[in-house]
Structure 1
Amino acid sequence: MDVTDAQYQAHHGEQVVIVHGLARSAWSMQNMSKGIADQGYQVCVVDYPTLRQPIENTLDKSAEELSRCILEFNDSRQKIDSQALAKHASGEHVPTNFALKNHAKIHFVGHSLGGLVIRSYLAEHPDFVHSEQMGNVVFVGTPNHGSDVADFFSDTWMLSLVGGTAESLTTNPESFPNRLPLPNYNFGVIAGTQSYPVFNGMFTKTNDGLVSVESTKLQGMQDFIEVDIKHDRLRRDPYVTGLIVQFLQSGQFEPVRE
């Protein structure tokens, strides 16, 4: 995706916080991270434990990392703004694209479980959500209503071996995803439609191999798009990254045709 110098400088005053999914790490999001950073955004990738963890620990650790990303970005913006103000006071020229800290947007992108982590964090930080810094959010293959695969293995030793976080991802009405409040901010949803043959028997509807398309949908979506891509590849496919960047910029996954 081509980007002009002016666009790069404009995006440089914005941060994108990226959150990985179950059984993954920050490293697993490097393709997406690089693709977004190449557009000029400051990128912070959250790393947190998910395997053999109770969901409470997963949320606590990820919340610490999300807060760290925001704090470090604000600290860096504060230094830049202070330098710009000092130059302005001394009569030096200051580029017009300097964004004051309070107006520098922070966006969020979550793949799979990462989307639920973002929803949980933002639900616990309403002051941030209502601030001028709150940007757009993209959920990629997120089981917003739980996963049929988790249902299938819920009564077996296999799911319990993975840990409480995995066990919390069923479609049960009282499961972790279904207890989260609906988002009260601008968000879009990307859903995959290419399944894994080994899991075909676990679904009755279109899915990405781990999450059904219907499970990704949430009331209040600003935009929604389906892509013919498997669940795991969603986090590293350049087309998906391009859709994410488009939504961060405009609140839509594809340009509006007049």
Structure 2
Amino acid sequence: MKRMKWAVLVPALILVGCSKPEMDVTDTELNAHHAEQVVIVHGLARSAWSMQNMSKGIADQGYQVCVVDYPTIRQPIENTLEKSAEELSRCIAEFDTATHHATNQPKVHFVGHSLGGLVIRSYLAKHPEFVQSEQMGNVVFVGTPNHGSDVADFFSDTWMLSLVGGTAESLTTSPNSFPNQLPLPNYDFGVIAGTQSYPVFNGMFAKTNDGLVSVESTKLKGMKDFVEVDIKHDRLRRDPYVTELILNFLQTERFEN
């Protein structure tokens, strides 16, 4: 049984963790979007490099893009949040400088894949002054385990999850877990959930899921919009259709126009 769990855990961690959307954009729209920044945050066991397809697709539409890089493996959750917060603040500060002479009011949007969404929620909860400012834009959570992951539950009684580190251990569905201790967002946000699972993980879920996160876990009270896509968890961060949905929400607060 232990060997089986270990064989499943390794690919699970790898999975947690391309072309641009086919959208026409005018010079006027490019100039308007240039006064807007999109901060992108990767998930568990990933890096900024893993978000390159999404970041390119968004940048191609005229947005300034900053991709956060932060440690997640063999890290206590406190260190993960501290390092990611430093990077988030850096992105925002650099955008402030770059848009000092912009004609339009600068806006900062946030997009988080998987754990990245929780990192964004934690950061914004600790920066209410920014959330209440005119600079605050829209937020998109992509495959984010807002109520924890059944996969983390499956391995929670083994030494294997602790080997990965405290950040991974914090992602269970327990009422006291990191995701379930975060306050509800008080800003405009939308949620994208995948519905295509990995056969090897089917036994870990009782409901529809993307292989690592259940659809129900992604949902949060107060969502401006919600959409399900027939895509696996890892693919969400690099699928051009998902990027197109994100771009729609940033502009209209709706995923599909």
* TM-score normalised by L of structure 1: 0.90
| Separation of aligned partners in 1, 2:175 and 2:45 | 24
| Separation of aligned partners in 1, 2:228 and 2:28 | 31
| Separation of aligned partners in 1, 2:145 and 2:170 | 11
Q: CA deviation at 1:154?
A: 0.4
Matched with 2:131 is 129
Deviations 1:96-147 (A, max 9, x none): xx22xxx200000000000000000000000000000000000000000000
**What is the RMSD computed on CA atoms of the aligned residues?**
0.6
Matched with 1:160 is 162
Amino acid at match of 1:150: A
| Separation of aligned partners in 2, 1:75 and 1:2 | 29
Segments of 5+ residues of structure 1 without an aligned counterpart are: 82-97
Residues 103-118 of structure 1 mapped to structure 2, 5 A cutoff: 103-118=105-120
Deviations 1:187-246 (A, max 9, x none): 000000000011000000000000000000000000000000000000000000000000
| Separation of aligned partners in 2, 1:158 and 1:196 | 20
Q: How many residues align?
A: 235
Task: Find 1:223's aligned residue among 208, 222, 225.
Answer: 225
Q: CA deviation at 1:77?
A: 1.2
Matched with 1:90 is none
| Separation of aligned partners in 2, 1:158 and 1:213 | 25
4+ residue segments displaced more than 4 Å: none
| Separation of aligned partners in 2, 1:8 and 1:227 | 28
Task: Find 1:250's aligned residue among 249, 252, 257.
Answer: 252
SS of equivalent residue, structure 1 residue 211: coil
| Separation of aligned partners in 1, 2:32 and 2:225 | 23
Matched with 1:182 is 184
Task: Find 1:141's aligned residue among 137, 140, 143.
Answer: 143
Q: CA deviation at 1:4?
A: 1.1
Segments of 5+ residues of structure 2 without an aligned counterpart are: 1-22
Amino acid at match of 1:243: L
2:75 aligned with 1:53 = yes
Matched with 1:9 is 31
| Separation of aligned partners in 2, 1:131 and 1:162 | 38
Q: Percent identity over the alignment?
A: 84
| Separation of aligned partners in 2, 1:12 and 1:77 | 8
Matched with 2:10 is none
2:203 aligned with 1:206 = no
* TM-score normalised by L of structure 2: 0.91
| Separation of aligned partners in 1, 2:149 and 2:61 | 33
Amino acid at match of 2:84: S
SS of equivalent residue, structure 1 residue 120: helix
